Structure 1
């Protein structure tokens, strides 16, 4: 398992960084669309959609993405506001109530609310190669939060964060991850890698909000898997599970970050 994880990481990391820093705009949009569609395919399988429903769902979503990119569409402010409401208000309630999806209109609409803003965020936050560093800085926040939450939780975790959803997560781990994100955001702010002007305190506060969102994204995907009775969203990435497994927190954080930029940036 460890060997598979390492080999897969050694393939995916250069591919991701290469696309991020050197792909032109349309190739980056296509690459981002592939990531979003693969995650949506895995989501559809876990949310009760049949194979036929899922195929039509993916085809319609892909067609929308092509038309949207060709037409230079941008999501309206009301959609970005809905993204914020979803992740900051509805998602905590969802996790608390442990709602399930059964392949109906709620499954379709939730999938689009997850993946469409995620794709628009990837494309909009990286319009050219020069913006790659700022986008990578936001992605780095997710990885810092996840890595340090894991090690802090292993060392000090005693109080479970959401035992019915993800038994391995603890409050101590989440706090440790948040502290490390605060330090990370100060370093990013000092390096000038943020795509907006703010004080160091503002950078820290934004980082803490995004850390909470990151945890919610991870817990949502964990709950979808638990409700569907599966361990991984798929087996596309040997040793790592599926694309949704690897992007759950990124989907949440980049969507909320792009929404904040669109509404207040």
Structure 2
């Protein structure tokens, strides 16, 4: 299982790097959108939409919303759709605190409706942020992906070695506060290196970039836990089976759904304007 997971992870990393650095913006945007539409199909099944009609509706709605968000970004202000995504993830943090396990999806009709609507607020701002970062500076997007991925690995290793206190036992029993501390420490080192590479001259701006990276890592944890909530409510182990050893698309990119809009909004704020 570990070998399969490792091979799949290396192939995904290589493909992602080649796409980010080698594809023109439009082709990259289309590729990421197709990936996220697969995620939308997985989302529909996790929230009880098993019929072809419901699943197709999910995919169509996300595609249309992505087009609208892109038009707003190109002809208005990208901060509006990105801010909507950030506000949503703040609301998710509150939802995670009050979620009560042990009830089936059918018994929580209100929650199912919220989770279905959430597909737009979760996928569309993340897609737009990822596309915009690649268009602006591909290496900045690579840094964001590495920041979330390395931090997640550090949390896993630190949790296995030092983990004693569970962080979210109702959602993800394997996550510990010690793992989070390990993740934040490694992320701090990456953030300092990134600050010196991406932020020129102004030391205060570099400090701001480091703080942004740490906030982004916390957002990635929220994204990860929210996908765990989706699967727990649905009674599923994985969001899908497309990626051997990893599960589905949502299983692989859950942390980036929250991290990408938070990182982009913070980057825009640090720069004092739009891209």
TM-score, normalised by the number of residues in structure 2: 0.85
Q: Are positions 1:61 and 2:69 aligned together?
A: no
Offset at 1:260?
A: 2.9
Of 50-59 and 74-83, deviating more is 74-83
Q: Distance in 1 between matches of 2:267 and 2:65?
A: 23
Matches of 2:76 and 2:113, distance apart in 1: 24
Spell out the pairing of 1:1-265 with structure 2 (5 A cutoff): 1-51=1-51, 52-66=53-67, 72=74, 77-88=79-90, 90-98=91-99, 102=109, 105-127=113-135, 131-192=137-198, 199-262=205-268, 265=271
CA-to-aligned-CA distance 1:120-166 (integer Å, 9 cap, x gap):
111111116xx111111111110121011111111111110001110
Runs of 5+ in structure 2 lacking a partner? none
CA deviation profile, 1:171-202 (whole Å, cap 9, x unmatched): 011011101111110011122379x9853322
User: Residues 75 and 207 (structure 1 numbering): CA distance in 2 closer, same or farther, change over 3 Å?
Assistant: same
Cα contact 2:69–2:128 (8 A) shared by 1: no
Distance 1:10 1:21 in 2: 17
Range that drifts further, 106-115 or 173-182: 106-115
CA distance in 1, matches of 2:252, 2:76: 26
In 1, distance between residues paired with 2:166 and 2:9? 29
- Secondary structure of the residue aligned to 1:91 is helix
Q: Which runs of 5+ in 1 are unaligned?
A: none
Change in 2 beyond 3 A, CA 1:222/1:11:
same
1:38-90 Cα offsets, whole Å, 9 max, x none, are 112111211222422121121232244356657845665443333222223x1
> For the residues of structure 1 that align with 2:189 and 2:206, how far apart are their CA atoms?
10
How far apart in 1 are the matches of 2:69 and 2:212?
Answer: 29
Of residues 35-44 and 185-194 in structure 1, the stretch that sits farther from structure 2 once superposed is 185-194
For 1:96 and 1:67, the matched residues in 2 are separated by 32
SS of 1:127's equivalent?
helix
The two structures, once aligned, show a CA RMSD in angstroms of: 2.5
Distance in 1 between residues matched to 2:232 and 2:112, nearest whole Å: 19
Moved over 6 A (4+): none
Judge which range, 35-44 or 5-14, deviates more.
Answer: 5-14
SS of equivalent residue, structure 2 residue 135:
coil
TM-score between both structures, scaled by the size of structure 1: 0.88
| Number of residue equivalences | 261
After superposition, what is the alpha-carbon deviation per residue over 1:4-23, rounded to whole angstroms, capped at 9, x for unaligned?
22332343222111110000
**For 2:59 and 2:148, how far apart are their aligned partners in 1?**
27
> Does the 8 Å contact 1:232/1:242 carry over to 2?
yes
Contact 1:189 1:203 in 2 (8 A): yes
